[in-house]
Amino acid sequence: MPNFSYYHIEIGKSDNTKEVVVKGEVTNNSDKSYTTVAVRIILFKKNVTVANMVFTVHGLPAGTTKAFKKTIEELEYEQVGKDISRYDIYTETAF
């Protein structure tokens, strides 16, 4: 079973657009290298889900940490993003 940890998760506004951006780091805590990791992130405004999506991180050798950045085109920061109160992030699959 893959063993990944997520750190330094930040939810903010894109530098060039009005959209929400999620940034962070993922660490491969296992002794196996993975070419692709599918990550699910769910964003909440209070207890209401405002985004639920999967994105991929490529090239994660055993024992390494890699930064990721995902723009969520469906959400404008000023309308929804600034009110995001919590998130869930976890690994869907890895291969």
Q: Residue 54: helix, strand or coil by DSSP? A: strand
**Per-residue confidence at 82, pLDDT binned at 50, 70, 90?**
confident
Among 2.102.10.10, 2.60.40.10, 3.90.1150.10, 3.30.365.10, what is the CATH number of 4-94? 2.60.40.10
Spatial separation of the C-alpha atoms in residues 41 and 56, rounded to whole Å: 11
Domain ranges for the chain: 4-94
Token digits for 84? 């995001």
Consecutive H or E run containing 70: strand 65-76
Distances in Å between the Cα of 60 and the Cα atoms of 4, 29, 33, 55, 82 are: 10, 10, 6, 14, 31
Mean residue pLDDT of the chain comes to 95
- Residue 39 burial (C-beta neighbours within 10 Å; 0-12, 13-18, 19+): buried
Write out pLDDT tens, residues 40-71.
999 999 999 999 999 999 999 999 999 999 99
